[in-house]
Structure 1
Amino acid sequence: MKYRFSIKQKQWMITIHVLSVVCWLGGAICMFVLGSYMLMSGNGEQLYYTLDNMHLIDVVLIRYTALVALVSGIALSIWTQWGLFKHYWIVIKLILTVFLILFGIKFMGNWLSTLIQGADQMRIVALTDAGFLTTSYSLLGGAIANIAALVFMTAISYLKPFGKIKKRGERNEKQ
């Protein structure tokens, strides 16, 4: 017999999953708000410390909560009736979650590090540097993409659209 969560285990895992997604979404919103604020900095110290706070939010509210969301989502899929590859909405959430985490590791973390380094070296003059501004806008776009994807994933978690994934035998029988 396949292992399944008990009702209490499932409730706790859903709680962990929802809280991790809320933290991740809150962190992404904070990154967008602080990123917008950073572009209006009045002096070099404000610019640097805003970026430094964005780094703190990235580490505390985004990185680890995204991983908790991924692991708890996989656990909920595997050890409940939903299954990891039975429904399109679960597969879409899995793909988007992995994509957002990899995008964050590959691009957003590097962009933020580049901006912090630029602000530390150039201070307020950084806001006149084309490369600094381009990277800033890329980071803001990444925050918007995270927000949009997380809202979309939340919506499909409740709406459960697209139906079940049909097995090969089921598809061939209907043809």
Structure 2
Amino acid sequence: MKKLGGQLSGELGGRLGRQLSRPARRGLLVVHVVASAGWLGLTLGLLALGVTAASTASPAAVEAAVRSMKLFADWLLLPLALLTLTSGLVLALGTHWGLARHRWVFTKFWLTLATTAATVFALRPGVNSAVTAVAAGGALPDAGDVLFGPVVSLSAYVFMTAVSVLKPWGPTRRGRRVRAARTTGARPGLSRSGTG
């Protein structure tokens, strides 16, 4: 995976240019943070609706909860997931952080990609299954259908938020090589200008 990330970073980084301009970086950072916070908040809302659907005895409340989950899952989840993934990728490739230079960026990228895929292939089908079950006969939805996806997603987003704030683990091997190449490349220039 590290090799793939390095290749992806190198190829896309060359297409995007070396660095984003300061206004572009700031604007994109705002978009990324707002989309990420929206995705986190939406998942928290889905969890609240899922708990309601799994724990209430009122058929009307269960139906309202799962139908609301479907509305959010169908119209908001995937666009927010894709906006978060795309803005994060462009930020990583267009700034000094890079995609494969720092472990925290690399980890966030793969977790965002995995949770986006899980949204498409697990969370949305689970919500759709719950809606079908409720619509078919007013039966209570399976708790796994309405709780598993939001719990896993929320855990991943909280972890990614902590990683974004704390920036742990240091550089990757690729990041150390890039840093070393820059350092050794800068030294001869400094000594020449100092002697010249």
For the aligned pair, the TM-score class normalised by the smaller chain equals 0.7 to 0.9
- The residue aligned with 1:173 is none
Over 3 Å counting, the alpha-carbon distance change for 1:44 and 1:160 in structure 2 is same
* Identity percentage of aligned residues: 25
Of 74, 90, 93, 1:59 maps to 74
Query: How many angstroms does 1:145 deviate by?
Result: 1.2
2:45 matched to 1:30? yes
C-alpha distance in 2 between matches for 1:67 and 1:4 = 22
| Structure 2: segments with no counterpart, 5+ residues | 1-13, 178-196
Of 29, 52, 57, 1:14 maps to 29
Code of the residue aligned with 2:128 in structure 1: it is S
- The residue aligned with 1:117 is 132
The question of whether the paired residues in 1 share the 8 Å contact of 2:130 and 2:146 is answered with no
- The residue aligned with 2:86 is 71
Query: How many angstroms does 1:60 deviate by?
Result: 3.5
Over 3 Å counting, the alpha-carbon distance change for 1:10 and 1:50 in structure 2 is same
Of 46, 54, 59, 2:61 maps to 46
C-alpha distance in 2 between matches for 1:169 and 1:61 = 39
C-alpha distance in 2 between matches for 1:18 and 1:168 = 24
- The residue aligned with 2:169 is 162
Code of the residue aligned with 1:115 in structure 2: it is A
2:94 matched to 1:88? no
Code of the residue aligned with 2:146 in structure 1: it is L
Q: CA RMSD in A?
A: 2.1
| Structure 1: segments with no counterpart, 5+ residues | 171-175
Moved over 6 A (4+): none
Code of the residue aligned with 1:154 in structure 2: it is T
Query: How many angstroms does 1:20 deviate by?
Result: 0.3
Aligned with 2:101: secondary structure?
coil
Over 3 Å counting, the alpha-carbon distance change for 1:4 and 1:116 in structure 2 is same
Query: How many angstroms does 1:106 deviate by?
Result: 1.0
The question of whether the paired residues in 2 share the 8 Å contact of 1:70 and 1:94 is answered with yes
Once structures 1 and 2 are overlaid, which stretch shifts more, 156-165 or 44-53?
A: 44-53
Q: What is the TM-score of this pair, normalised by structure 1?
A: 0.85
Once structures 1 and 2 are overlaid, which stretch shifts more, 90-99 or 56-65?
A: 56-65
C-alpha distance in 1 between matches for 2:145 and 2:60 = 22
Query: How many angstroms does 1:148 deviate by?
Result: 1.1
Query: How many angstroms does 1:22 deviate by?
Result: 0.7
Query: How many angstroms does 1:144 deviate by?
Result: 1.3
> Looking at CA atoms only, which structure, 1 or 2, has the larger radius of gyration?
2
Q: What is the TM-score of this pair, normalised by structure 2?
A: 0.77
- The residue aligned with 1:139 is 146
